[in-house]
Chains A and B, each alone.
Chain A
């Protein structure tokens, strides 16, 4: 792995007396896509929520030399971290344009880039976001992270519940975004991970079980089965398949 942009050490989360994370270590690479993997319930979503300050957390979170471990959510974002949450976090009663406008921060919002990647959003800018398809809503969620000059994009299962064709589209956009902005990708779709990710971390039971190169891990059938519960020895097919959950 190259340089580390976000270093997470001993991240612990306790909610209502339940220990969700017992000490997660995670290095997000300063370039490309870092994948955060693990079985359902391993603590992936809680980890990114903790990074964002959306759940109470302890431990060390250093983002590009700045300690963000005690910052409230809006200031974490203002460090330059764009977040597309697991449930997409779309405001259904607002129009597409309003959803995007809400995400505007300082400087000039990059609408040219967003509409180039998602021309559909331009056509549908007056439509209530709640009436969009799942794939279109995911486009809004990703577009919101691309509007501002973010230094890191966190995408939590962006392909969840999407049709295979849309999965490919989302993967293309993520791959393209990752050329300029590092991405932390939570993903269950291992074909997609194999295609886009460089570094990866695997969580198990609220702890980091493995960190290393994503392709090497997925090529090692025993390790993949042990860590992710799946046999992953497949040809690196260009069409992403949804892995068993």
Chain B
């Protein structure tokens, strides 16, 4: 029982991390048809910026996380304005550009801070464990779950209550028609990139907490599973991404523990294949 609870909490924590990456990825693809392979690099930027602020910057963990998130958000906006926007008419070049950034940024980080994992400072309040149904679960699992939940609620409020949320929801359905109502949809593009970058870089900063350390390839490693989540959840659906994140995180943890290490990662891909065979449009019925 203890093991099941621990695995469930760890799986949910990992699922929370996937959601932070996948929510932005899903909105970006749903609205703009952009497959952003640089999204993992945004997570790495958030992670290293938060780590730098908490160590060399001397900011302390609670300021380092918003700092990392802000840097990642700025990088995401810059990416959209400088690289994605000029290539909207050339989708293939756009994909290649994001792949390039996705490879170059981790390499740059490696060049500056080295390939080795860097220990991520853990604040005393979050370093401990809590007892859940007899299992000893690290507190940081719950931090990730809480962060993902807050992001989910904020995103849903944004989509449901604001004019830009309305534009994003409409744009996911039919982007051309949104412009035909006199709306400059490019502003929504930049905003969605900012939101996606913020969530991913927050995920990066919290990934340091979850794994205890950060390394340059972390973002790219998580990106693969985030893509699985996006496809399963239905492109453009934030709630779908949340449900799929939980599923993927749990399946991965349980399979890795009860079968052989590494099979959990594989089982996620199998899960995706099965889901796409049964429901080709993803969990939410949107085109996957």
Contacts and interface: CB of A to CB of B under 8 A. Distances in A.
- Pairing of A with B: yes
Contact of B166 (A73, A102, A144, A148): A102
A105 B170 contact: no
Contact of A144 (B163, B181, B184): B181
Interface string A58-92: 00000000000000111001100001010001011
B84 interface: no
B182 interface: yes
B169 interface: yes
Main secondary structure of the interface of B (DSSP, over half): helix
Contact of A98 (B166, B179, B182, B183): B166
A54 interface: yes
Interface residues of A, number: 21
Contact of B178 (A52, A93, A102): A102
A102 B180 contact: no
B177 A85 contact: yes
B189 to A, nearest CB: 13
Contacts of A77: 179-182
B173 A73 contact: no
Given A74-B184, A98-B166, A102-B170, A89 B177 contact: yes
A94 interface: yes
Nearest to A103: B181
A106 to B, nearest CB: 9
Contacts of B185: 74
Interface in B88-145: none
B150 interface: no
A102 B181 CA distance: 7
A103 B176 CA distance: 13
Q: Which of B167, B180, B183 has the most chain A CB within a 10 Å cutoff?
A: B180
A148 B183 CA distance: 13
A101 interface: yes
A94 B163 CA distance: 13
A105 B183 CA distance: 8
A91 B178 CA distance: 9
A103 B180 CA distance: 9
Contact of A73 (B163, B170, B176): B176
Contacts of A54: 176, 179-180
Contacts of A148: 182
Given A52-B180, A74-B182, A102-B183, A89 B170 contact: no
Interface of B: 163, 166-167, 169-170, 173-174, 176-185
Among all A-B residue pairs, the 7 with the closest Cβ atoms = A77-B182, A89-B177, A73-B179, A91-B170, A74-B179, A103-B181, A74-B184
Interface of A: 52, 54, 72-74, 77-78, 83, 85, 89, 91-94, 98, 101-103, 105, 144, 148
25 contacts: A54-B176, A54-B179, A73-B179, A74-B179, A74-B182, A74-B183, A74-B185, A77-B179, A77-B181, A78-B182, A85-B177, A85-B180, A89-B174, A89-B180, A91-B170, A94-B166, A94-B170, A94-B173, A98-B169, A98-B170, A101-B163, A102-B166, A102-B183, A103-B181, A103-B182
